[in-house]
Amino acid sequence: ARGLKFKMFTIKEFILHILCISILCEACYGQACNDDDDDSSPVVVTKNGKIFGKYVQVMDKNVSAFLGIPFAKPPVGDLRFKVSEPIESWNGTIIAKEKTPGCMQYSTREVGWVPPPTFNVSEDCLYLNVWLPPNCCCNSSFKLPVMAWIHGGGLYSGSAMLDMYDGGVMATLGEVIVVTFNYRLSVFGFLSLDSKDAPGNQGLHDQLLALKWIHEYISYFGGDPDSVTLFGESAGSLSVSLQMISPLSKNLFHRAIMESGSAAQPTKVFDPEEALDTAIKFSELVGCSISDSDENAIKRDIINCLKNKSADEL
């Protein structure tokens, strides 16, 4: 009898404990993920200020979407072709309710991963999106796993802002937090002069900076910075493999999913001489005058000319 009584008490205690957790989660969700005025917008409070998102309907459920959050300084002006720099503390409010433009690219065809010619692009493009599953508890001690997506497109096209990469369904069905992000493409992301003005692999550094942002801020969204899965397709998969072998991304993600494409892809790897030759040919195509003097002068001519071209010209 005593054993039965003890067992019944344990079950009651367990049920009560679960109810308390549910109420606590509901309360912290209301406090941390909803606008105080009319509950019309989800809001996350970070150390730097608030980020307002919006609710989107996914399978008749409300998913919190935070769209177009900046994670780097705009790579424009003197920062063009340079390694991306972290965004400064904003100490205020970020309105993240609309997707931002994709990175600069030239579209000549319409397939799923290549944006159509009408797609909005900009040199100021280093933004990311975050989707939270329904009833995500931002301030709970239980943190959700995170999945960070790198889009494909041959490193010259594509965007995290395409509808095909919307993370709402995955967040809902998988009970995970989904993050997608842009990175610079083509000449903006991969011009390589082996110098501080154009070190090469700028697009990969953009990805790295997005991962650092996730590591620093995702806990405010209810995500676990120690449980991040990096996944991508095609050039995104190539990027995942490169991040896997880079010491710079150590501890920023913990699992990886590669959907075709790898670091062993020979068509995407150039030695410094090939990279410089490609830069010279590209510069001449856009009307730059390149000197025939020493290598440093050639690199200087290239960077000075390309920085004075408009993004559309490039």
**What is the tens place of the pLDDT at every residue in 176-200?**
999 999 999 999 999 999 999 999 9
Q: Contact at 8 Å (CB) between 221 and 44?
A: yes
From the candidate CATH numbers 3.90.600.10, 3.10.20.600, 1.10.3210.10, 3.40.50.1820, the one assigned to the domain spanning 43-259: 3.40.50.1820
Which pLDDT score is estimated for 21? Answer: 43
Q: Residue 92 corresponds to which amino acid?
A: G
Percentage of the chain exceeding pLDDT 90: 69
Buried b (16+ CB within 10 A) or exposed e, 7-44: eeeeeeeeeeeeeeeeeebeebbeebbbeeeeeebbbb
Domain ranges of the chain: 43-259
**What is the tens place of the pLDDT at every residue in 36-53?**
445 588 999 999 999 999
Where are the strands (E) in the chain, listed by range?
43-46, 49-52, 54-58, 61-70, 92-95, 102-103, 121-122, 127-132, 144-150, 177-181, 192-195, 198-199, 223-233, 255-259
Rounded distance, CA 171 to CA 194, Å? 40
Is the pTM here over 0.75, yes or no?
yes
Q: Which two tokens stand for residue 188?
A: 């903006």
**What is the tens place of the pLDDT at every residue in 82-103?**
999 999 888 789 999 999 999 9
